[in-house]
Amino acid sequence: DSGVTQTPKHLITATGQRVTLRCSPRSGDLSVYWYQQSLDQGLQFLIQYYNGEERAKGNILERFSAQQFPDLHSELNLSSLELGDSALYFCASSVDPGLLYGYTFGSGTRLTVV
Amino acid sequence: QQQVKQSPQSLIVQKGGISIINCAYENTAFDYFPWYQQFPGKGPALLIAIRPDVSEKKEGRFTISFNKSAKQFSLHIMDSQPGDSATYFCAARKGNTPLVFGKGTRLSVIA
């Protein structure tokens, strides 16, 4: 157990629907990162939050949004889902984005859009 | 544009052999270069990392070689074992920006 908890582990939904992925960071970690993993693109950075505030944005679609709550857990909302959104979504956390520490990844949520 | 280019895409190595995975980058401002290991059904886990002021870092059977002038770094796995079979990702970052990852290398170590 890495200490980063992601739920649900698997999600199957239809095109056009909306889903919410949840992430609880490792205890003490203030930064949360969301990555999308697909077979051909590898790990693509989506968005980062630090202590409740958005810190950096990557290749995140406008149909996607995220937030980090006061208890530091984060949610990634995906709407108007398309077949191409099917992927593994990983959450990672770190103590402080400014320090040279590694990220701790959760086990991911596998999203299948049918 | 892929900021970190990783090769090969897949690699098959005999047990006891040396596995070598390479990465190249363009951004000379990158100052942290980690390697992550991912087993099926799991998230990536930090394996080893290096800063550009060091040319080599070794941890057990895993070594990072860093060539600043060529803007390349590589992971060497000595005495490769079947348990090393996994997907390996190189990554890089500048300051406190998020990590950018390579596309991954699937390593299979066969007996």
**Cα–Cα dist B99/A24, whole Å:** 20
Is the pLDDT at A99 greater than 70? The verdict is no
The answer to whether A28 contacts chain B (CB < 8 Å) is no
Is the Cβ–Cβ distance between B23 and B105 less than 8 Å?
no
* Residue in A35, A97, A102 nearest the CB of B49: A102
* Residue A12 amino acid letter: I
Distance between B46 CA and the closest CA of chain A, angstroms: 6
Q: What is the pLDDT of residues A34-89, one digit of tens each?
A: 999 987 778 999 999 999 999 999 989 999 999 999 999 999 999 999 999 999 99
Cβ atoms < 10 Å from Cβ of A45: 20
| Interface contact flag, A33 B98, Cβ < 8 Å | yes
**Cα–Cα dist A13/A3, whole Å:** 27
- Interface A–B counts its CB contacts (< 8 A) at 56
**Cα–Cα dist B73/B70, whole Å:** 9
Cβ atoms < 10 Å from Cβ of B52: 17
Distance between A101 CA and the closest CA of chain B, angstroms: 9
Q: Could you tell me where the beta strands, DSSP code E, fall in chain A? A: 5-7, 10-13, 19-24, 31-38, 42-50, 53-57, 64-68, 74-78, 87-94, 104-105, 109-113
Judging contacts by C-beta atoms under 8 Å, the chain B residues touching residue A43 are 44, 89, 101, 104
Residue B104 backbone class (left: φ over 0; alpha: ψ -120 to 50; beta: rest): left
CB contact burial B96-105 (16+ within 10 A = b; e otherwise): bbbbbbbbbb
Give me the pLDDT at residue A98, please. 57
* Residue A15 amino acid letter: T
Q: Mean pLDDT, to the nearest integer, of B77-92?
A: 97
A24 compared with B1, residue with greater pLDDT: A24
Judging contacts by C-beta atoms under 8 Å, the chain B residues touching residue A42 are 6, 89, 101-104
**Cα–Cα dist B94/A97, whole Å:** 11
Q: Mean pLDDT, to the nearest integer, of B69-96?
A: 96
Is the Cβ–Cβ distance between B31 and B14 less than 8 Å?
no
Coil, strand, or helix at residue A62?
A: coil
Nearest to A38 by CA among A18, A52, A59: A59
